[in-house]
Chain A
Amino acid sequence: MALLQISEPGQTTAPHQRNYAAGIDLGTTNSLVAINRSGQVETLPDNDNNHLLPSVVHYAENDIIVGHAAQNLQAADPLNTLSSVKRIMGRGIEDVKSLGNVLPYEFDGNNDSAVPRIMTRQKSVSAIEVSAEILSVLSNRAEQTMGEALSGVVITVPAYFDDAQRQATRDAAKLADLNVYRLLNEPTAAAVAYGLDQQAEGMIAVYDLGGGTFDISILNLTRGVFEVLATGGNSSLGGDDMDHAIAEWLIEQAEIKAIDAKVIRNLLIASRKAKEDLTQQESTLIDLPQLGFSLTLDRTQFNHLVEDLVNKTLMSCRRALRDAKIEKEEINNVVMVGGSTRVPLVVDQVGKFFNCTPLTDLDPDRVVAIGAALQADVLAGNKPDQELLLLDVLPLSLCIETMGGLSEKIISRNTPIPVARAQEFTTFKDGQTAMAIHVVQGERELVSDCRSLAHFELRGIPPMTAGAARIKVTYQVDADGLMSVMAEELSSGVKADIVIKPSYGLTDGEIETMLRDSMSHAKEDIDARMRAEQQVEAQRVIEAIDSALTKDGHDLLNDNEFKAITVARNELEKVLQSATTEELKVAIKSIEVISEEYVAKRMNASVQKVLSGKNINEVEV
């Protein structure tokens, strides 16, 4: 029995066609998945009610363990337990070397691969593969929770990420068999989660101090559209560094001499716990009997240890403001993101710096995932149109060629993408078994004035009378501008499809010319369209008359009547190509008048045929 969720008014979808779309925050330290259920966007917990999935992957003998279980194995088996791999996503081997000893792993030196590979007991793995394991666990969690497959996901990335890093993230998703609607900048996701996109306008600073990265982003919101004015930060600065600062302090205080990977792990785990305790308490006890010490750390001492780090973030804030060419006073909202913003010193200092109270109502660990889920829901098409945001638009309309060389718009210009639109068409001739589909792009009424994108054919339509087949043509454009067209005959289910890249190949100049043409030719275009429409109509009339006359013309009509209709038909055919719109209209009208009686006779005859030999009860109405 399927368990149902409540939809927005009028948004109920057919069974098995629900678009469940999740937002995934693929973090350095922790990852999360959030989804919209019955209008409520929440992060999803696992079976043990943990929302956060530690971004840790353990490679066991024959198994891959992700999350808390892997984290628990970190101290015992540090070399086969990989964490914080986001730091090396999309990085080259040289970059990784420059990170120094931050990551206590053995890199595979005997590999030609451009991507650094970490040696584990199973195999050498890249950061992409490790991330894919994390993504798989999260998407499985979402699918189990919803009881249905995900139609797609939005994955967040630091605003800082360059193309290589973004591509690596996409690759990880591909490896995890996920459909990525798009990658969303983390600060934008956070602002969306706080509903700041509902405001008319404002300047927003998003301060994101996560486990391994610090981001400051200055966003300018105007009429529901976010413009990223500036981003800054440090892709190797975060809560991990606070842990390191505490660990170093511990090494110094306890005078620890023998330091190996295992000792470092133990120290870091204890340091992280101490840091977390100090968000609520004034002091905490760090007790590590296996290393032979027990020390008390109070908040003052802790603040002293991390002061430099916080100051570094504020320097980045100042730089970002300068890049955005705005003053501190112009910032209306400061959004706090990332678990490390729970540290009281951070909130204090950021509040003082921007001179306003930072937004901290939402769980700083979950806020990005929630924003991503909101955006995913919009991208999956589950929201009414007016709630669309942050989307690209289609530069030119996408059309289909119809009879008479006319272009019919399926998706009009300036429609936000991704988008899918379907329209039904039918056959023109009796017994027509194939249909040629011509995809064109442009604003003009005639296909010859638009740009041809693709031709393909739908074959295997069952023979039917003209107009009886129902052919649904669906145009779809994804967030990357990739277009796919599908044609399906609904009664038989025959399908054909094609994938095209629409706007590629058209320069901005060409697009502009095409747009200008459509305006300056508007009048003649409409005239041409009307004439072409009448030509199609005339052709349809001729087809219909031919088919009727062959069937029962001689039975129902006397010679004179037959001749009159044939003459009118031939006359229409003769003027078809040369006549004006008006002349065509007149000719069609005159045939209709002449054949009026014939049509009535045919109808009577077919009614009689159905009724003959049956009593009234047998007739189905």
Chain B
Amino acid sequence: MAINLTEKAAERVKGFLHSRGKGLGLRIGIKTTGCSGMAYVLEFVDDVNDDDEVFESQGVKVIIDPKSMVYLDGTKVDFAKEGLNEGFQFINPNAKDECGCGESFTV
């Protein structure tokens, strides 16, 4: 069971957490919505819930709820740049199908 950040993604997360001034780490998860089933969640974490799994990747604390873990195991989170646009990208081996925008997926 693992989710990994790439080095580039981890650097960015650290930077964002630093400038935010607070936060325990990065929450990764899924929620059921979006055009093709499920959508990724990427949030700062101020409170860890009892049933959350917490682990470290590239020096960043990653927090994930057990339900999301099922869908995200083996996922890699990268930071990518496309022209002026930049942001985080999920590379999820569990996703069978993505909507055109890549923001939601089915398993």
Minimum CB–CB distance for A36 against chain B, Å: 11
A15–B27 touching, CB < 8 Å: no
User: Which residues from 18 to 60 on chain B have a C-beta closer than 8 Å to any C-beta of chain A?
Assistant: 19-20, 26-27, 31, 33-35, 39-47
Expressed in whole angstroms, the Cα–Cα distance for A168 and B41 within the complex equals 41
A145–B85 touching, CB < 8 Å: yes
B39 CB contact (under 8 Å) in A10, A14, A37, A47: A14
A residues less than 8 Å from B35 (CB atoms) = 15-16
The answer, yes or no, to whether B88 is at the interface (CB within 8 Å) is yes
A9–B13 touching, CB < 8 Å: no
A147–B82 touching, CB < 8 Å: yes
Expressed in whole angstroms, the Cα–Cα distance for A198 and B104 within the complex equals 37
**By CB atoms of chain A within 10 A, which of B27, B31, B44, B90 has the most?**
B44
Of the candidate stretches A38-46, A55-63, A486-494, A545-553, the one touching chain B is A38-46
Interface residues of chain B, those whose CB is within 8 Å of chain A, are 12-13, 15-16, 19-20, 26-27, 31, 33-35, 39-47, 80, 82-90, 98-99, 101-104
Expressed in whole angstroms, the Cα–Cα distance for A40 and B21 within the complex equals 11
A12–B34 touching, CB < 8 Å: no
B residues less than 8 Å from A37 (CB atoms) = 87
Expressed in whole angstroms, the Cα–Cα distance for A339 and B85 within the complex equals 28
B19–A40 touching, CB < 8 Å: yes
B42–A141 touching, CB < 8 Å: no
Minimum CB–CB distance for B38 against chain A, Å: 10
Task: Map CB proximity to B onto A1-45 as digits: 1 under 8 Å, 0 otherwise.
Answer: 111111111111011100000000000000000000111100010
Expressed in whole angstroms, the Cα–Cα distance for A526 and B68 within the complex equals 45
A residues less than 8 Å from B99 (CB atoms) = 15
B104–A15 touching, CB < 8 Å: yes
A12 CB contact (under 8 Å) in B41, B82, B98, B104: B41
Query: 7 tightest CB-CB pairs across the interface, nearest first?
Result: A3-B87, A15-B103, A1-B102, A147-B85, A145-B84, A15-B34, A14-B33
Expressed in whole angstroms, the Cα–Cα distance for A12 and B102 within the complex equals 16
The answer, yes or no, to whether A146 is at the interface (CB within 8 Å) is yes
Minimum CB–CB distance for A22 against chain B, Å: 13
Minimum CB–CB distance for B45 against chain A, Å: 6
A residues less than 8 Å from B15 (CB atoms) = 40
Minimum CB–CB distance for A353 against chain B, Å: 33
B40–A4 touching, CB < 8 Å: yes
B39–A15 touching, CB < 8 Å: yes
B86 CB contact (under 8 Å) in A3, A6, A12, A39: A3
Expressed in whole angstroms, the Cα–Cα distance for A145 and B26 within the complex equals 23
**By CB atoms of chain B within 10 A, which of A4, A11, A44 has the most?**
A4
Minimum CB–CB distance for A34 against chain B, Å: 14
Expressed in whole angstroms, the Cα–Cα distance for A38 and B39 within the complex equals 17
A residues less than 8 Å from B44 (CB atoms) = 6-9, 39
A residues less than 8 Å from B20 (CB atoms) = 39-40
Expressed in whole angstroms, the Cα–Cα distance for A4 and B101 within the complex equals 11
Expressed in whole angstroms, the Cα–Cα distance for A84 and B14 within the complex equals 41
Whether A15 contacts B33 in the complex (CB less than 8 A), given A6-B26, A39-B16, comes out as yes
B residues less than 8 Å from A3 (CB atoms) = 80, 82, 85-89
B16–A38 touching, CB < 8 Å: yes
User: Which residues from 482 to 536 on chain A have a C-beta closer than 8 Å to any C-beta of chain B?
Assistant: none
B residues less than 8 Å from A2 (CB atoms) = 87, 101-103
Expressed in whole angstroms, the Cα–Cα distance for A98 and B68 within the complex equals 67
Chain A binding site: helix, strand, loop or mixed by DSSP?
loop
B103–A144 touching, CB < 8 Å: no
Give the contact-size bracket for chain A: 20 to 34
Whether A6 contacts B88 in the complex (CB less than 8 A), given A11-B43, A16-B101, A147-B82, comes out as yes
Whether A6 contacts B47 in the complex (CB less than 8 A), given A16-B35, A40-B19, A144-B84, comes out as no
Expressed in whole angstroms, the Cα–Cα distance for A46 and B84 within the complex equals 8
Q: Please, which residue of chain B has its CB at the minimum distance from the CB of A142? A: B84
User: Which residues from 165 to 184 on chain A have a C-beta closer than 8 Å to any C-beta of chain B?
Assistant: none
Expressed in whole angstroms, the Cα–Cα distance for A554 and B31 within the complex equals 48
Q: Please, which residue of chain B has its CB at the minimum distance from the CB of A15? A: B103
A147–B87 touching, CB < 8 Å: yes
B residues less than 8 Å from A9 (CB atoms) = 27, 43-47
Expressed in whole angstroms, the Cα–Cα distance for A39 and B85 within the complex equals 16
Minimum CB–CB distance for B12 against chain A, Å: 8
B42–A1 touching, CB < 8 Å: no
Task: Map CB proximity to B onto A592-621 as digits: 1 under 8 Å, 0 otherwise.
Answer: 000000000000000000000000000000
Expressed in whole angstroms, the Cα–Cα distance for A466 and B31 within the complex equals 30
**By CB atoms of chain B within 10 A, which of A1, A7, A9, A10 has the most?**
A1
Expressed in whole angstroms, the Cα–Cα distance for A7 and B23 within the complex equals 12
B16–A144 touching, CB < 8 Å: no
A12–B42 touching, CB < 8 Å: yes
A residues less than 8 Å from B98 (CB atoms) = 1
Whether A7 contacts B33 in the complex (CB less than 8 A), given A2-B103, A144-B85, A147-B82, comes out as no
Minimum CB–CB distance for B22 against chain A, Å: 10
Q: Please, which residue of chain B has its CB at the minimum distance from the CB of A41? A: B19
Q: Please, which residue of chain A has its CB at the minimum distance from the CB of B41? A: A12
B residues less than 8 Å from A15 (CB atoms) = 33-35, 39, 99, 101, 103-104
Whether A10 contacts B43 in the complex (CB less than 8 A), given A3-B88, A4-B87, comes out as yes
A39–B19 touching, CB < 8 Å: yes
Minimum CB–CB distance for A456 against chain B, Å: 28
Q: Please, which residue of chain B has its CB at the minimum distance from the CB of A140? A: B84
Minimum CB–CB distance for B68 against chain A, Å: 12
Minimum CB–CB distance for A19 against chain B, Å: 15
Expressed in whole angstroms, the Cα–Cα distance for A44 and B86 within the complex equals 12
Q: What are 11 A-B pairs at a CB distance below 8 A?
A: A3-B89, A4-B40, A7-B42, A8-B43, A9-B27, A16-B34, A16-B103, A38-B16, A44-B84, A146-B85, A147-B87
A12–B46 touching, CB < 8 Å: no
A4 CB contact (under 8 Å) in B19, B31, B45, B103: B103
B residues less than 8 Å from A1 (CB atoms) = 80, 89, 98, 102
Minimum CB–CB distance for A582 against chain B, Å: 44
Expressed in whole angstroms, the Cα–Cα distance for A16 and B39 within the complex equals 11
Q: Please, which residue of chain B has its CB at the minimum distance from the CB of A144? A: B84
Whether A141 contacts B88 in the complex (CB less than 8 A), given A9-B44, A11-B43, A39-B20, comes out as no
